[in-house]
Structure 1
Amino acid sequence: MLDLAALKELLASPQKIVITTHHKPDGDAMGSSLGLYNYLIQQGHHARVIAPTDYPDFLSWLPGNEDVIIYTEQPGQSAALIADAALIFCLDFNALSRINEMGALVGESKAYKIMIDHHLEPQDFDDYRHWNINACATAQLIYDFIVNELQHKELINKDVATCLYTGIMTDSASFRLPNTTSAVHRIVAELIDAGAVNWRIHELVYNSATEGRLRFLGHCLANCLEVLPEYNTAIIAVKHEDLEKFDVETGDTEGIVNYALSMASIKLAAFIVARGDKVKLSLRSKGEFPANEICKKYFSGGGHRNAAGGVSSHSLEQVVQEFKLILPEYKKLLLQ
């Protein structure tokens, strides 16, 4: 294991560093990864971000994105960089299974592994851990790591600030979730002061939909939404054929579950989609309802109390039925 003093000593001279995050990276995953990348290159480190898979186009403008390697597109180069790294930063995930085939490569690497994350129940694969389940985003923890642990606030430049602001904004649902504390707002203010243009970032992330995505969203709300008032629950179930019909791309399904949750009476919303031979679930909840508990107990997943995900090898129809059969167990909580 590394202590902070040993880590700071390692980072005092240029190192070969890999930064990686979970598959199908979201705004926090890429914002925290590129935020850390833009910090490290200022100190002369040979850093590369390797994403296990592709990610939404609405994140392609982030500073440093042009240097990101996607493992599924460049597995050989990715494997060589991982094997040659002295340090591997593992951001916004807590288990090697979350980076797919890269998990074995990272696990076998002799590099020091540094986990920076805010998810429950981390696996013990890391040598140094900066972890807090109360953080609203991993980007918040990257800010804390740079400013408070490494004492390098002066290196939060415009590029770092822009990336970290994006991560915090997206993972806090635009600063609406309960863990968006006054401390988070103070960090955000510091990032704006450092050069993050808040309105522009919001525009690039949320106002960049294609016509196809809007038509797909309309289809989901008009034809796939089922409301269960007896459980204050809403379900959007999407067939694989619908993804093909609307030419759905990576990122096009992101946030759709929140439309179901936006209804006044709804306490739990589920977006359930058939993707190839798997069915993916994305749950969102209000208040104290434990969406993560359902995903962990029944769908081989997990996450946060109000935002969680899972997966099943059953058919879409089976998964929807299984989900409905779970609801009576939580009826009291759902109707509170």
Structure 2
Amino acid sequence: MQNLESFKELLNISPKNIVITTHHKPDADALGSSLGLAGFLKKKGHHVQVITPTDYPDFLTWMDGNSEVIIFNEGNETKSGELIEKADIIFCLDFPSLYRINELGEMVREASAAKVLIDHHQEPEDFANFTFWSTSAAATAELIYDLIKDMGDTHLIDKNIAECLYAGIMTDTGSFKHPNTTKNVHLISAELMDHGADVSKVAKLIYDTNSVDRLKFIGFALSQKLVVLKEYRTAYIHITAEELKRFNSKTGDTEGLVNYALSIEGIILAAIIIDRTEAVKMSFRSVGEFSVNEFARDHFEGGGHKNAAGGKSNLTLEETVKKFESLLPKYKDQLNNNARTLTAHVTN
């Protein structure tokens, strides 16, 4: 972080009123980073409130501090506004631009508080007084740990904080399978274990707490809604609003589904396209050098990382699927060349 000494001075004057917020539909990295940081800041004597724009999956509610989280769009708009207005510091975690926190964005922008951006996505918006940003980090939780370490405060990390941060790192590396799994990731994970993180427990709570409805939904999606376009090294799944309702889909039930499409041999680009009623939401994944960040940004008002990105469409689901397929011929050579490069790398 630039201006680290100024940042440390800001935090070492206690107590401060602090708000921590993160992106729409928080995942394990977003919530784990937020609650891990909140636990740390409370130990430094600050008054801390985590506010999320929306709800999040049930499989994340085990995290310490979850019961105190304020969900903005569940009737807490006024309360959230008051907390943001009174805040001395606002931490913005795991998102690069204020539009990613919906109505909270303008509240944060207009607030008089010092703003701190901690994130690992591309193209951060210039709104913060302090920025700790790196696209080379696998997860925002990794950056939180590094920041605590840079401040000389790792002795304040307890079991609960460690498990929140570990959850973010574990999930954003795909259980340490993705190319973003660096030496630093493993070193931090080991240090979090030293601080008490029960890594087996965390993995079970996140990955092995499926409802029967979710398992049936996954089976339906893979058997009935998976489309494989071998010519374009692409696979995608498209889901209607009615299908979500049929399987009693809850927040988080579609998470990770796109990875099944990407796991097919020879596939370079995978997508899940879901009618969320207010808009069609899309998640993209890729392997190798094919940038879904650029693909999402150029065609679906989105972005993210090179190999993992999101987007949206205001067309109907059917029209969005047609648009997605119509774009593939433009990328055919790039996708096939990428596949050949990966094959050559494996055989060598």
Give the alignment's Cα RMSD to 1 decimal: 0.9
Q: Helix, strand or coil: the match of 2:261?
A: helix
Separation (CA, whole Å) in 2 of partners of 1:277 and 1:104: 21
Indicate yes or no: 2:125 matched with 1:114: no
Alignment correspondent of 1:125: 127
**C-alpha displacement of 1:152:** 0.7
Question: 1:122-148 CA deviation, whole Å, 9 max, x = no partner?
Answer: 111111000000100000000011111
Alignment correspondent of 1:8: 8
Q: Helix, strand or coil: the match of 2:259?
A: helix
Separation (CA, whole Å) in 1 of partners of 2:310 and 2:188: 28
Alignment correspondent of 1:180: 181
Q: Which range moved further: 67-76 or 17-26?
A: 67-76
Alignment correspondent of 2:96: 94
Q: Which range moved further: 106-115 or 73-82?
A: 73-82
Separation (CA, whole Å) in 1 of partners of 2:271 and 2:16: 43
Alignment correspondent of 1:156: 157
**C-alpha displacement of 1:8:** 1.1
Question: 1:75-113 CA deviation, whole Å, 9 max, x = no partner?
Answer: 111111100000000000111100000001100100000
Alignment correspondent of 2:141: 139
**C-alpha displacement of 1:333:** 2.0
Separation (CA, whole Å) in 1 of partners of 2:4 and 2:183: 27
Separation (CA, whole Å) in 1 of partners of 2:120 and 2:168: 13
Alignment correspondent of 1:57: 58
Indicate yes or no: 2:256 matched with 1:255: yes
Separation (CA, whole Å) in 2 of partners of 1:86 and 1:116: 17
Alignment correspondent of 1:292: 293
Alignment correspondent of 2:345: none
Q: Which range moved further: 126-135 or 72-81?
A: 72-81
Alignment correspondent of 1:169: 170
Separation (CA, whole Å) in 2 of partners of 1:5 and 1:186: 25
Alignment correspondent of 2:209: 208
Alignment correspondent of 1:330: 331
Separation (CA, whole Å) in 1 of partners of 2:293 and 2:4: 31
**C-alpha displacement of 1:238:** 0.5
**C-alpha displacement of 1:35:** 0.7
Question: 1:36-92 CA deviation, whole Å, 9 max, x = no partner?
Answer: 001001111000100110000000000111111101121111111100000000000
Separation (CA, whole Å) in 2 of partners of 1:126 and 1:44: 23
**C-alpha displacement of 1:328:** 1.3
**C-alpha displacement of 1:3:** 2.5
Structure 2 counterpart of 1:6, one-letter code:
S
Alignment correspondent of 1:84: 86
Structure 2 counterpart of 1:45, one-letter code:
H
Separation (CA, whole Å) in 1 of partners of 2:29 and 2:278: 27
How many residues align? The count is 334
**C-alpha displacement of 1:233:** 0.5
Structure 2 counterpart of 1:178, one-letter code:
P
**C-alpha displacement of 1:185:** 0.2
**C-alpha displacement of 1:277:** 2.9
Separation (CA, whole Å) in 2 of partners of 1:79 and 1:334: 46
Alignment correspondent of 2:304: 303
Separation (CA, whole Å) in 2 of partners of 1:332 and 1:187: 39
Question: 1:141-166 CA deviation, whole Å, 9 max, x = no partner?
Answer: 00011111x11111121111110000
Structure 2 counterpart of 1:126, one-letter code:
A
Separation (CA, whole Å) in 1 of partners of 2:40 and 2:278: 40
Separation (CA, whole Å) in 1 of partners of 2:271 and 2:180: 21
Question: 1:187-244 CA deviation, whole Å, 9 max, x = no partner?
Answer: 0000011011001100000000100001111110111111000011001011111011
**C-alpha displacement of 1:295:** 0.4
Structure 2 counterpart of 1:187, one-letter code:
I
Q: Helix, strand or coil: the match of 1:314?
A: coil
Unaligned runs of 5+ in 1: none
Q: Helix, strand or coil: the match of 1:122?
A: coil
Separation (CA, whole Å) in 1 of partners of 2:290 and 2:44: 44
Structure 1 counterpart of 2:11, one-letter code:
L
TM-score, scaled to structure 2:
0.95
Structure 2 counterpart of 1:173, one-letter code:
G
Separation (CA, whole Å) in 1 of partners of 2:303 and 2:99: 13
Q: Which range moved further: 67-76 or 20-29?
A: 67-76
Structure 1 counterpart of 2:333, one-letter code:
K
Separation (CA, whole Å) in 2 of partners of 1:181 and 1:277: 38
